[in-house]
Chain A
Amino acid sequence: MNFKRKLVPLVATAALMVTTLAGCSGSNNSAAESSASPEGAAKTETGSKTASIKAMTILFGNPPATENNKALEDLEKRGNVDLDVTFVPSEAYTDKLSVAVSAGNSYDLLLMDGGKDDKFSNLVKMGAFHDLTPYIEKTKNISKIDDTVWNGIKVDGKVYGIPRPRGLYGGGEANILIRKDWLDKYNLAVPKTVDELTNALAVFKEKDPAGGGKTIPFSIYGVDGINSPGPFAGVAPIQFAFGVPNIWKLDNGNAVRDFQTPEYKAFLEWLKDSWSKGLIDKDAPVLKNQGQARSKFLAGTAGAFVGNVSDMAETNIEKLKQTDPNAEIAIVDVLEGANGQKGVALLGGYYGLWAIPSSVKEDKVQQIVDFLDFSASEENVAFSKAGVAGIHSSDFKDGIAVQTEEQKKQYDLDKPSQFVLENRVDPYVYAGSKDPEILKAQRATLDAISKVGIENPFLSYNSATASKNPDSYKKMSAVMTKYVLGEGTWDDVQKEIDAWTNGTGAQIAKDLLDQYNAEHK
């Protein structure tokens, strides 16, 4: 009886799992209902008829209000579009994207959150997306994006996705954020070197400012070893202070991976030493992402964690002040190592690519690109920060919105910035504070890190070997973590590194070098 039914669902284990996951994350995303009337089309530049665009994008935090959203109405009116955006929470995004892609014709615009990775390149080769090269030539704002960014996202010399510009330097884990009030309490300066940082963490450990032995000097998180090696993530500034390369470096024409360098060993020694002294969160190996490490910091128990200037926002400080009214955050712009090494990752300069599925009719492609171009216009920079004048703010001065409490509440509800799908090129994109003091500090930090970018020579290349062996770092990650935790010897780690170097590693390095050499003849 029941058995016969067993046969049936075997068809789509995959599909089943997607539904499970999507269901579990509780992400019943109702798309923002749009009800813009075509009357507003009068004053638009694109003229002609209203384009209706259904887009899917990633969401961090709460979604914007779906009903009677004045910000959305305003944007639709000015952009002459009928916008239907599905906001998918970041935890479930990969799965939803996978479903959206396989479903074919449901969206006009998809955000490929991984950028130009193996998945994206594979999809392009399958013919998934429109070639946008001819369409972007005529754009006013999108074409301002840096050439290095464009070169990084091209597949076979063509543009298949429009990058969402971000800072080129550092990314989401650029700087160490540290409790300024704790430092002050023990007469410590904001650390500038690894030694000063280690010392500050040791003082936090000893003095226990959070009370009850709850203080976690440094909050980082574990990696599952499936997609990346290394024991922990959320350690980038420290790695660079030890002189570890940004994933890869070129050495006399050879590709060298970070963990193959002696600097990496020195960095692991630091981790091991810090772990044994209790400076690192004991829970780190079971934490799964930056969000969990950050939440320990915002809960007032952790002394430091790695984020970027956008974490210095007022909302975070307010959250901290709920547990400790004296709480203050300081940011370590650039951490320096013993030999003066320092840096932040020089990245692709974008987060996500807007791709138009090939199922979308050709005459609509230009309309969609035009809307993205309109999104990236000067007027929408103001709109994303200040919303609609009179409703979300009363004025917009020097990049800061002037808002009453009432307007601020409405702004947080409608979230105008979420609907500006394509942002304008802006090196200060992470500096979003409304407090002039904080904004100044944020900009200063961004200026400081823009001078110490460390390049990954193979950033824009993909290795087919790596994509077929997503498990290749698994064992290495495990032995490295064990080593740091004091449960294994360096020989175990060296053995895994050697195994990788002589096995898949050699092939991956070759894949990347071939592409590099082909472009740098």
Chain B
Amino acid sequence: MQRILRPKRFNQLWPFYLLAAPGILYFVIFHYIPMSGLMLAFKEYSPFKGLINSSWVGLDNFRQFFGTSDFYILLKNTLLISLLNLVIYFPFTIILSLLLNELRLKVFKRVSQTIVYLPHFLSWVVIYGITISFFGPSGVINHYFTEWFGGSANFLVSNEWFRPLVIFQSIWKDAGWGTIIFLAALAGINPEQYEAAKVDGANRFQNIWHITLPGIKSTIVILLLLRLGSSMDSNFMQIFLMTNSLNLDVSNVFDLFVYHIGLEQFNYSFAITVGMFKSVASLILVLGANYAAKLLGEEGIF
């Protein structure tokens, strides 16, 4: 078998290249050729002059971007939301999958799984609507707050509550969905290990700590790396809806900035500049984290 799979010359290999060709072409045409559009970050793009004829402006767009007083605020807000997602939302999905995994009654487990997936299918607009009716100034929670304590909490109209609410929304909507991959990894752990541990007198928590968690460690690392790669992206729809004039200090993130300056003002070059910055920053983050993972003896993603 080994021999057949390792032929040496092209005339033996061409059927395989032929098979791969559509995939390669797809990436070249739809993913690599469009990358030429990146040069717009260095041009003053006018849709009517086209990609080629728009005039070059060098690093002006970058200078303008890094020069705005908002840059550090944007960076801080974007990273903070990602970081909070990483330290709160992400472990939450792991804990949730561990809990689901401990369920012994098959039917109950299936039903619970389906129920925790459901919110994932709601759109952000619906979730924002629900958020308003619960946390809004005239929402359910404030209604009882006023009745019991005489005061009200400014959930949606203050800087303090913005981040907790955004994380809470993410967990509410997507935590169940996030368990899918972990549950698959958990299913791959050899049950004999548990039986052996049981014989040795391990209790449930020791099982989780010594068998389950190490069993899904590589999955956790890979998902963590992938999340790092998108840490410069915010969930645009979510943030866009949650923004108002009273929480702009903490809610203004790169994606929102691109929308306001790039799209609302027809400033395409500037939008691409910001996009490019985000991508390069993400690339560095992922490469760094991947390197760190390798140092720690994990597999990493490449």
Residue of A nearest to B38 (CB): A11
Q: What is the CB-to-nearest-CB distance from B196 to chain A, in angstroms, rounded to a whole number?
A: 34
Query: From residue B209, how far is it (CB to closest CB) to chain A in Å?
Result: 30
Secondary structure dominating the interface of B: helix
Q: Is A12 interfacial (CB-CB < 8 Å)? A: yes
Closest to B36 in A: A11
Could you give 10 example pairs across A and B, Cβ below 8 Å?
A7-B279, A8-B35, A13-B258, A101-B266, A102-B266, A119-B264, A126-B47, A282-B137, A286-B137, A286-B157
Q: Does A144 interact with chain B (Cβ within 8 Å)?
A: no
B275 at the interface (CB under 8 A from A): yes
- The size class of the interface chain B forms with chain A is 35 or more
A8 x B259 contact (CB < 8 A)? no
Tell me whether B237 and A24 are in contact (CB under 8 A): yes
CB atoms of A224 and B274 under 8 A apart: no
Tell me whether A102 and B268 are in contact (CB under 8 A).
yes
Q: Does B249 contact A (CB under 8 A)?
A: yes
Chain A residue with Cβ nearest B157: A285
Q: Scoring B residues 272 to 283 as 1 if CB is less than 8 Å from chain A, else 0, what string do you get?
A: 101110110011
Per the bound structure, the CA–CA distance linking A126 and B31 in Å amounts to 29
Complex: how many Å from CA A126 to CA B268? 13
- 12 new A-B contacts, CB < 8 A, other than A3-B229, A285-B157, are A3-B290, A6-B279, A8-B32, A11-B37, A13-B255, A13-B271, A14-B275, A101-B47, A224-B244, A285-B245, A286-B137, A286-B156
> A286 and B229 in contact (CB under 8 A), knowing A10-B278, A231-B245?
no
Asked if A478 meets B125 with Cβ closer than 8 Å, knowing A1-B301, A283-B138, the reply is: no
Say yes or no: A127 contacts B137, CB within 8 Å: no
A471 (CB) vs chain B CBs: closest residue? B70
Contact with B along A271-293 (1 / 0, CB 8 A): 00000000001110110100000
* Chain A min CB distance to B10 (Å): 25
Contact A14-B48, Cβ < 8 Å, known A8-B32, A286-B136, A470-B264: no
Answer whether residue A467 sits at the interface, using C-beta atoms and an 8 A cutoff: yes
Q: Looking at chain A's contact residues, is the secondary structure mostly helix, strand, loop, or mixed?
A: helix
Residues of B at under 8 Å CB distance from A? 27, 31-32, 34-35, 37-38, 46-49, 70, 123-125, 132, 136-138, 142, 156-157, 226, 229, 236-237, 243-246, 248-249, 252, 255, 258-266, 268, 271-272, 274-276, 278-279, 282-283, 286, 290, 301-302
Closest A-B pairs by Cβ, 6 of them: A13-B275, A10-B279, A225-B245, A282-B137, A8-B31, A14-B271
The answer for the CA separation of A98 and B45 in the assembled complex, in Å, is 13
Residues of B with C-beta under 8 A to A470: 260-261, 264-265
A24 and B275 CA atoms in complex are apart in Å by 21
Once A17-B255, A122-B266, A286-B156 are accepted as A-B contacts, the answer to whether A10 and B249 lie under 8 Å apart by CB is no
Is the C-beta of A118 less than 8 angstroms from some C-beta in chain B? yes
A180 an interface residue at 8 Å Cβ cutoff?
Answer: no
Find out whether the CB atom of A223 lies under 8 angstroms from the CB atom of B265.
no
- Bound Cα distance A485, B125 (Å): 26
Question: Nearest-CB distance from A25 to chain B (Å)?
Answer: 9
A8 to chain B: which residues have CB within 8 Å?
A: 27, 31-32, 34-35
How long is the Cα–Cα vector from A359 to B271 in the complex, in angstroms?
A: 24
Shortest beta-carbon distance, A223 to chain B, in Å?
Answer: 6
CB of A6 within 8 A of CB of B46, answer no
Cross-chain contact B263 with A478 (CB below 8 angstroms): no
Alpha-carbon separation in the docked complex, A13 to B281 (Å): 14
Of the residues B34, B124, B260, contact of A11 by C-beta under 8 Å: B34
Determine if B31 and A5 form an interchain contact, defined as CB atoms under 8 angstroms apart.
yes
Also in contact, A126 and B49, with CB within 8 A (given A10-B275, A285-B137):
yes
Asked whether A94 lies within 8 Å of B272 as measured between CB atoms, the reply is: no
Which chain B residues lie closer than 8 Å to A252 at the CB level? Answer: none
Q: CA A285 – CA B135 in complex, angstroms?
A: 13
- Closest B residue to A119 by CB, please name it: B266
- Whose C-beta in chain B lies nearest to the C-beta of A229? B245
A223 and B156 CA atoms in complex are apart in Å by 14
Please indicate which of the listed interface residues A2, A3, A127 has the most CB atoms of chain B within 10 Å of its own CB: A3
Q: Is A222 an interface residue (CB 8 A)?
A: yes
CA of A345 to CA of B97, assembled, Å: 59
Q: Does A123 contact B (CB under 8 A)?
A: yes
- How far does the alpha carbon of A8 sit from the alpha carbon of B35 in the complex, in Å? 7
A418 within 8 A of B: no
B48 and A128 contacting across the interface, CB-CB below 8 Å? yes
Choice from A101, A103, A474 contacting B248 with Cβ under 8 Å: A474
Determine if B264 and A6 form an interchain contact, defined as CB atoms under 8 angstroms apart. Answer: no
> Quick one: CB contact mask for A474-502 with B, threshold 8 Å, 1 for yes?
10011001100100000000000000000
B302→A3 contact, CB < 8 A: yes
Q: Are B246 and A285 in contact (CB under 8 A)?
A: yes
CA A478 – CA B32 in complex, angstroms? 43
Evaluate contact between B275 and A467: CB separation under 8 angstroms: no
Q: In the bound complex, what is the Cα–Cα distance between A12 and B263 (angstroms)? A: 12
Contact A467 B265 (CB under 8 A): yes
- Contact residues in B for A359 (Cβ distance below 8 Å): 48
Is A94 touching B229 in the complex (CB atoms < 8 A)?
no
Q: Across the interface, do B275 and A12 meet the contact criterion of CB distance under 8 Å?
A: yes
Closest to B54 in A: A126
Check if B138 sits within 8 Å of A282, measured CB to CB.
yes
Q: Kindly state whether residue A208 has any CB partner on chain B within 8 Å.
A: no
Q: Smallest Cβ distance from A230 to chain B, in angstroms?
A: 9
Instruction: Give Cα distance in the complex from A478 to B159, angstroms.
Output: 10
Q: Assess whether A13 is in contact with B272, with CB atoms less than 8 Å apart.
A: yes
**What is the bound-complex CA distance between A370 and B282, given in angstroms?**
53
Task: Say yes or no for A315: interface residue by CB 8 A criterion.
Answer: no
B37–A12 touching, CB < 8 Å: yes
Q: How far is the CA of A475 from the CA of B264 in the complex (A)?
A: 20
Greatest chain B CB density within 10 A among A14, A286, A471 is at A286
Q: Are B34 and A12 in contact (CB under 8 A)?
A: yes
A98 to B260, alpha carbons, bound, how many Å?
A: 12
